Amino acid sequence: MEPITAPRGTKDILPGEASMWESVEGIMRGEAEISGFHEIRTPVFEDTRLFRRSVGETTDVVEKEMYTFEDKGGRSITLKPEGTAGAVRAYLQHSLYNEPMPVKLYYVTPCYRYERAQAGRLREFHQFGVEMFGSSLPMADAGLIAFACRLFERLCIKGLKLKINSIGCPKCRAEYTKALKAYFTQYKDELCETCQSRLERNPMRILDCKEKHCGEIAKGAPQIMDYLCDDCRSHFEQVRSMLDSVGIKYEVDTSIVRGLDYYTRTVFEFVSDSLGAQSTVCGGGRYDGLVEEMGGRPTPALGFAIGIERLLMVMLAQKVKFEKPEPCELFVASIGEKAHMEAFRITKEMQDNMVTTLCDEVGRSLKMQMKYADKIGTLYSLVIGDDEVNSGKGVIKNMKTGEKTEVKLDDELPDRFFELEDKDSGEGEDGDEEV
């Protein structure tokens, strides 16, 4: 029978990798809490109308990439392609707007997009995202960018480039849209089929097209900066001034429009060239009209998302050191039936006292048990045979130094083991920085 494998564009996270994910996610959660964000968990699938209304009918995500299906009740359901729309829906559904402002949320979630599977671009991927509701101040934009910078620093990532832009508000974007339409109409026959359809509906989306020829045409397009209204221009200048005041380096890149329709004013990306070509690790910005578009009161809002798979690829390429998983602290080896029973009892007692403890569970010989203990990096071992069972005493061996300590196999064993660990805790410190 042909073996069943994981679907194309998905990836198993095996135990050796899971520890890296835990380290990174732990730092992300910790930094979010420090900055006043609180976790939210939304469903992995939503009503399809949510994404059509928020992400935008003319985006690649909605037009080409969503996993949409009809459930058994005849409802159109979509696996979430990004995290913001669900967070906004939850913000409105559960009346979080009654909480003191700003409301600050974060999430770690799987997302789904039907894209051509390749390195750093999967059909099932994971995002760490933050969303902030209730502040229209430029300080909120600068603060969110500063939070991302601090997070990357904590993750020991080097060389990321911050690119920022302003795409204005509906007022100034109307004039910009007219200019774009006039420009791209000259090249209508040269645009891809998708961009030809966008020319009438939303010409700004052409700037985000991934087709190489459309990208070349877009290089000569009018720039949004020439069409910003006074309020949007002032907002952007204040964001830049605040970033300058805290020494955050950035590049103004007028080609950044982000791939989702809900963005307004400030947009930004962090890109890395550690993977051979520049790739976006983090992207975000303002979406001041989205809450109202979803049926709520006019509410300024902003956020960003980080693709965790791509982030890990950058970290591995830069040889960032990850904290090693906690090793087995004690392995209890045994010879004979009574000793096996005693090893089982001791293992449970030590685990109940929060000591990572293992014993033989597959019937190995004593020699093979000790080889196994050494292979998994056990810190201490305890061998039990008939003599140890009869005397109620055993010897704990430090697997690194070979030092042996006699202990009683009674209820005080966990406390005695903690004392032993404390005594040896100064050994083997190398001082290397790890994530």
pLDDT tens digits, one per residue of 211-224:
888 888 888 888 88
Could you tell me which residue, 206 or 407, shows the higher pLDDT? Answer: 407
Which fold is adopted by the domain 330-418? Rossmann fold (3.40.50)
Query: From start to end of 222-278, where are the E strands?
Result: 251-252, 264-272
Nearest to 145 by CA among 29, 269, 271: 269
pLDDT band for position 425 (cuts 50, 70, 90): confident
Which fold is adopted by the domain 15-169+229-317? BirA Bifunctional Protein; domain 2 (3.30.930)
Q: What are phi and psi of 82, to 5 degrees?
A: -160, 170
Question: For position 246, what pLDDT does the model report?
Answer: 96
Question: For position 390, what pLDDT does the model report?
Answer: 93
Question: For position 209, what pLDDT does the model report?
Answer: 78
What average pLDDT does this structure show over 145-154?
96
Q: Is 274 a residue whose pLDDT tops 90?
A: no
| Lowest model confidence (mean pLDDT) among 119-128, 139-148, 361-370 | 119-128
Question: For position 275, what pLDDT does the model report?
Answer: 76
- To the nearest 10°, report the CA torsion of 50, 52, 54, 56: 170
Where helices occur in 77-211 by DSSP H, the ranges are: 84-93, 138-154, 170-185, 193-201
What average pLDDT does this structure show over 25-33?
96
Judge whether 199 and 186 are in contact, CB under 8 Å.
Answer: no
Q: Is 277 a residue whose pLDDT tops 80?
A: no
Question: For position 427, what pLDDT does the model report?
Answer: 46
Q: Do 15-169+229-317 and 330-418 have matching folds? A: no
What are the angstrom distances between the C-alpha of 214 and each of 175, 234, 244, 281, 342? 22, 31, 34, 23, 72
Question: For position 435, what pLDDT does the model report?
Answer: 75
What average pLDDT does this structure show over 184-195?
86
Q: How many CB atoms lie within 10 A of CB 371?
A: 12
Question: For position 430, what pLDDT does the model report?
Answer: 46
Could you tell me which residue, 52 or 99, shows the higher pLDDT? Answer: 99
Structure-token match 């952007």, residue found: 236
pLDDT band for position 53 (cuts 50, 70, 90): confident
Tell me the C-alpha distance between 258 and 384, whole Å: 64
3-state secondary structure of 140: helix
Q: Where are the domains of the chain?
A: 15-169+229-317, 330-418
Nearest to 414 by CA among 404, 402, 422: 422
Q: Structure tokens of 310?
A: 């791509």
DSSP designation for 63 = I
Q: Is 15 a residue whose pLDDT tops 70?
A: yes
Question: For position 181, what pLDDT does the model report?
Answer: 86
pLDDT band for position 60 (cuts 50, 70, 90): low
Q: How many CB atoms lie within 10 A of CB 323?
A: 13
Question: For position 201, what pLDDT does the model report?
Answer: 79
| Lowest model confidence (mean pLDDT) among 103-112, 162-171, 289-298, 418-427 | 418-427
Question: For position 115, what pLDDT does the model report?
Answer: 79
**Do the strands 251-252 and 279-286 form a parallel or antiparallel pair, or are they unpaired?**
unpaired
Q: Is 30 a residue whose pLDDT tops 60?
A: yes
Q: Is 208 a residue whose pLDDT tops 80?
A: no
Nearest to 83 by CA among 58, 60, 50: 50
Nearest to 407 by CA among 424, 425, 383: 383
Tell me the C-alpha distance between 215 and 208, whole Å: 8
Task: Tell me the Ramachandran region of residue 137: left when phi exceeds 0, alpha when psi lies from -120 to 50, beta otherwise.
Answer: beta
Q: What is the pTM of this model?
A: 0.86
Q: Structure tokens of 163?
A: 């690119």
| Lowest model confidence (mean pLDDT) among 76-85, 218-227, 228-237 | 218-227
Buried-state track 404-427, b at ≥16 Cβ within 10 A, e below 16 = ebebebeeebbebbeebeeebeee
> What percentage of the chain exceeds 90 in pLDDT?
66
Question: For position 429, what pLDDT does the model report?
Answer: 43
Task: Looking at mean pLDDT, say which of 56-70, 315-329, 418-432 comes out highest.
Answer: 315-329
By the 10 Å C-beta count (0-12 exposed, 13-18 middle, 19+ buried), 251 is classed as exposed
Q: How many residues comprise the chain? A: 435
DSSP designation for 94 = T
Question: For position 431, what pLDDT does the model report?
Answer: 43
Q: Structure tokens of 18?
A: 């899971």
Question: For position 376, what pLDDT does the model report?
Answer: 94
Q: Is 432 a residue whose pLDDT tops 70?
A: no
